[in-house]
Structure formats: C-alpha cells, structure tokens
Amino acid sequence: MPAMGWGERFTRAATGARGIRVLLGVLLTAVAVKTALEVLAAGANVRCWDTMLLSGTSVFAVAVALALSLPRRFERALTELRVHGALPLTVAQTQEIKNDLERAGGRMLVRAGVIVGLLVLASFVYVLVPQFIALWQNPATPHGPAAVLIGFFVFLMLVCAFCGFVGGAFLGRVASYGLLARRLSQPGSQLTLQPGHYDGANGLAPIGGLYLYQAFLVMFPIVWLAAWWLIIPYYDVSVCHFDVAKPYLPWRMPLLVLWVTSVVFLYLAFVRPVLQLKGRIKSERDDLERVRLPEICAEIDAIRANLAATPYGTADREAQEARLNALARAHWDIQNMPTWPMDRTTVKQYFSVNAAGTVAPLVLKGYDLASGGSLLSPGLARLLSNLS
C-alpha cells in the first residue's frame, strides 16, 4: 500500500466498515429524533414527516453498505484477469498496477469527498438559512426554543454534509477504478483478448462486472435525486396545516446540481471506462478480421485439399479433421467477437427486475467482507447469506 497523507488516512477510515457504522448510528439517531418531533407535532400522518430525509437516509445506508465491497471486488477482478489469461502478468506486476491505482485513487477519494460534502452543505445552507432567519425573527417564537431548534437542525445539517463527504469519497473510489480501463486499453498494456472465451466477453468479464457494479451503485443517488426533483412540484402538505404547502420547492435547484454531479461520476466510473475497453476490443477485432481470418481460411483450404489428395490413415485423418474443426471455431469466434467487456448475464443481474432481490444479500456481504463482522444478528445474517 502506498504511503498516505492524513487526509487520505482519515477518508479511508471514514469509509471503512467501522466508520460507516458510527456514521449511520449518528445519522439514524438524529433522523429518529427529528421524526419523533414531527410525530408529536403532526401525528402519525406520514405525509407530514420529512419523507425526503427519511428516504435519503435509507438510500444512503444501502448504497454505502454495498460500496464497502468495492476494494475486494477490484482486487478480485485484477486477479481473475491475470489467472484467466486476459492480463498475462506476474503477481508482482499485477500488484504494481494495483498500487499505482491506489495511489491515484487516494487523491480522488479526498477530492471527491470534499467536493460532494461541500455541495451537500451548500444545499442545506441555501435551503435552511432563510428559514432559520425567519424563525428567529418571528415574534411569536421565543428565542430560547428557536435557538434549540436551530441548533438541532445545524447539527443534522453537518451530519448530512459529512454523509455527503463519505458518499463523495465512494464516488471518488469508483472513478479511480475507472482509470484501470484507460491503462488496459492502451496498446502496450499486455491486455490479451480471447475470442470465444467462456465468459462471453473475450476474457474481460471480471473487469466488465466490476464496472457494472459501480454503475449500479452510482444509480442509487441518480435515481433518488431525479425522483425527488420530479415529485417536489406535486408534493403538497396542505393537510398538515404547515405555513408552506410545498416545503420542498427550494430543494429543486440543489437536487439538480447534485444530480449533475452524480452523472459526472457515472461517466467516470462506468461510461468512459467501458467505452475505452470497447474501443480496444473493436480495434483488435478489426485487426483479427484483416489479418487472422484470411490466414485461417487459407489453412482450412490447404487442409481440405490435402485430405482430398492424400490417402491418410485413420489417426492422421482424425487429427486433420480436428484441426479443421478448431480452425472453423476460431473463424466463428472472431466473426462473432462481442465488443462489450461484459456478458449479458451480468448485465441482467444488476439492471433487471431481478436486481432488487440481490440488494439485501449484497448489503450483508458488503459489511461482513469489509469488517469481518456483521451489523445483524447471526441468524438473520445466515438467512440473508443463503439468499446470495
């Protein structure tokens, strides 16, 4: 592991399993207190609760739980590329690649965390500070209770901003893993494509699966932000007798900024690396079609001519026919060489109606594999583990 500065060490600790447990504990406690106050004020009508905060907390908890397994998945992808022959390197050479990406990724973790954390903080300031001022200046509200309420919301705001920092750090991690595709797509990378490979992706299914998983993770904030941006104009709480019928309207601009930010990370973590690998595959397929296919055709014609002209024995004829079959298969594999670095089964696993059934086991594995422990009871942990 490359040497780390204090900022990177802090960020890695905050995005580790123990740091996530502490953060979720604080966040859930603050959200529970806020919800309890809302129940006291408006009763059990869910519409009168802060449903945007509740849903956002749930999405954040699930997403970071899934993201904990990223380092293990990245290392496994590199190992499988090496073992399966797509990246014929020694263990030391593979470790060097890993160290280089970890060094670049450490900087991206901190920068992305700071950027997203500041954006979340700025969003809360943009929305809540005018409300704080109005509350403080309201003659009907004593300054003592107003100060307590404002103090609690400031604390909640800082907790959410730190959640933004942690979420941004994870986004920086997926963006840093996207750099592997740029390295592999370069001509001198020693990447060896294997047409007809059993993984259905020329031997690149391990790295393609990693990038699909990253896209799956980044879609959590993208979908949540887009959904609330669309819902807010129609979210009316008049039945709650609040001063404002549509309290979330000021959030539309901050949500749009955060959505654009998430889309940028989706591009860095999935779109760009997949397109880079696709370009490398297409280039190599064109070379194989231009050079290798004519050679295969010529060899097939030569073998068939020899079989017709020469009275081979049974063993020799079978050997020649086996060679013909191998050449025909190689010809078919090149002609039907897929250009995407992932197979259809993996795509369906993450982006289909069946994907919802994999979330709970993945959350469990994310925590357990990163920390060696579980946030759940042993019985429930075993149950969910059996589902995956």
Same domain assignment for residues 239 and 321? no
| Domain range for 307 | 291-335
Same domain assignment for residues 163 and 187? yes
Domain presence at residue 383:
no
What six digits make up the tokens of 147? Answer: 């100060």
Average of per-residue pLDDT values in the chain:
83
Same domain assignment for residues 166 and 314? no
Q: What is the pLDDT of residues 259-274, one digit of tens each?
A: 999 999 999 999 999 9
Q: What is the pLDDT of residues 137-191, one digit of tens each?
A: 888 778 888 888 889 889 999 999 999 999 999 999 999 999 999 888 887 778 8
Task: Using pLDDT thresholds of 50, 70 and 90, give the confidence band for residue 314.
Answer: confident
Same domain assignment for residues 65 and 131? yes
Domain presence at residue 362:
no
Domain presence at residue 379:
no
Q: What is the pLDDT of residues 263-307, one digit of tens each?
A: 999 999 999 999 999 999 898 889 888 988 999 999 888 888 888
How far apart CA 329 and CA 322 sit, in angstroms, is: 11
Q: Are 66 and 212 in contact (CB under 8 A)?
A: no
Same domain assignment for residues 135 and 153? yes
Compute how many other C-beta atoms are within 10 angstroms of the C-beta atom of residue 239: 11
Same domain assignment for residues 206 and 346? yes
Same domain assignment for residues 299 and 329? yes
CA distances from 323 to 273, 300, 350 (A): 37, 9, 40
User: For the ranges 41-45, 120-124, 239-243, which has the lowest average pLDDT?
Assistant: 239-243
How far apart CA 17 and CA 64 sit, in angstroms, is: 9
Return the HEC string of 249-285: HHHHHHHHHHHHHHHHHHHHHHHHHHHHHHHHHHHHH
Same domain assignment for residues 309 and 183? no
Task: Using pLDDT thresholds of 50, 70 and 90, give the confidence band for residue 123.
Answer: very high
The pLDDT of residue 380:
38
Same domain assignment for residues 147 and 228? yes
- Select from 269, 347, 362 the least CA-distant residue to 68: 362
Domain presence at residue 95:
yes
Same domain assignment for residues 188 and 298? no
- Select from 356, 184, 368 the least CA-distant residue to 279: 184
Domain presence at residue 374:
no
User: Quick one: angle between helices 51-67 and 143-177, nearest 10?
Assistant: 30
pTM of the full structure: 0.83
Same domain assignment for residues 164 and 230? yes
The pLDDT of residue 350:
66
Same domain assignment for residues 11 and 148? yes
The helix (H) or strand (E) run that includes residue 166 is helix 143-177
